[in-house]
Amino acid sequence: MDAARYLELAAHTPMLERHADLLHWLQGDVQQYIPHDILLAGWGDFQEGTVRHDILSPLPGARSYSAGTDSLPFILGKFHDHWIAAGRRPCMLDFRTFEYLLGSASLPGSFPSELRRMRSVLIHGLCDERSGHDCLYVVLSAENIPPEPASTAFRVLMPFIDAALRQMTHLPQQRNAAAKPAKNLPEDTCGLSERETQIMAWVAMGKTNSEIGTILNISGFTVKNHMQRIFQKLNVYSRAQAVSKMTRVMVDG
């Protein structure tokens, strides 16, 4: 791919005003150089886990706020770790090594069910020096993404993709999130520790003890012990009761 072709592709991005326009561009000539089914965009503080996202894909279950996207900030965090380990250069991965993050069950048509079809991952990003936060871009394909020209094309075109997304009107859910940030639970909410609160967040997403242990790099037995202490502190007898009580605390304060 020569410089003239790069410029020809990039010249279209200032005219992309809607998510649908950007998706049409990505699924058009860009596919010749970066073949993919899903583009994930994540930005924010990856260390703290305060990450917002966008999803661009023709797949019916791959929408920015479709069912099953609750765990996406954590998945993006894992991708971000690999990008940092690669020296902040484009890196290619096998998505099958990340499937454990999706849990044991996926509803048909949900975002996790679409992700299970993916095989190749290409990751790159940039750092916004003004805010000190990274912007991460991830393309996923059900087929093998050729390392070249995909890596070079992604590195060259990513700033234009980033600029296009920054100028687009936020989706309704993004506007709501910007206007009214989600309430964070303090460390001592209901007497739970930071680790216990973290575990409860994954319990609320339907993860099993074994899955939570894999995500947090602890044993399922350790998670079980945490759950027993959580039940005692919340004065409940089941996971459903624990989630219900924590939800009431988040809503009512």
Task: Answer whether residue 184 is part of any domain.
Answer: no
CATH number at residue 81: 3.30.450.80
**174 plus 247 within the same structural domain:** no
**145 plus 202 within the same structural domain:** no
CATH number at residue 234: 1.10.10.10
What is d(CA 88, CA 110) in angstroms, rounded to the nearest whole number?
Answer: 31
Confidence of residue 30 (pLDDT cuts 50, 70, 90): very high
pLDDT, one tens digit per residue, over 78-117 is 899 999 999 999 999 999 888 777 765 556 678 888 998 9
Task: Answer whether residue 60 is part of any domain.
Answer: yes
Q: How far is CA 228 from the centre of its chain?
A: 30
Q: CB of 73 within 8 A of CB of 51? A: yes
Residue 187, C-beta contacts closer than 8 angstroms, at least 6 positions apart: 193, 194, 197
Q: CB of 203 within 8 A of CB of 239? A: yes
Q: CB of 196 within 8 A of CB of 222? A: no
**149 plus 228 within the same structural domain:** no
Q: How far is CA 224 from the centre of its chain?
A: 27
Task: Answer whether residue 137 is part of any domain.
Answer: yes
pLDDT, one tens digit per residue, over 43-82 is 988 877 678 899 999 999 898 877 778 778 878 988 999 9
**Percentage of the chain with pLDDT > 90?**
38
Domain containing residue 209: 189-252
Task: Answer whether residue 90 is part of any domain.
Answer: yes
**54 plus 79 within the same structural domain:** yes
**79 plus 193 within the same structural domain:** no
pLDDT at 15 over 50: yes
Provide the whole-model pTM: 0.71
Task: Answer whether residue 206 is part of any domain.
Answer: yes
**22 plus 61 within the same structural domain:** yes
**9 plus 109 within the same structural domain:** yes
**153 plus 229 within the same structural domain:** no
What is d(CA 212, CA 222) in angstroms, rounded to the nearest whole number?
Answer: 10
> 80: closest CA among 96, 91, 66?
91
What are the Cα distances from residue 18, in Å, to 38, 54, 105, 162, 223?
17, 13, 33, 13, 43
Task: Answer whether residue 154 is part of any domain.
Answer: yes
**10 plus 60 within the same structural domain:** yes
Burial 208-239 (b: 16+ CB within 10 A, else e): bbebbbbbbebeeeebeebbeebeebbebeeb
**25 plus 131 within the same structural domain:** yes
Q: Final residue of a domain: which of 178, 200, 219?
A: 178
**169 plus 64 within the same structural domain:** yes
**87 plus 41 within the same structural domain:** yes
What is d(CA 26, CA 159) in angstroms, rounded to the nearest whole number?
Answer: 14
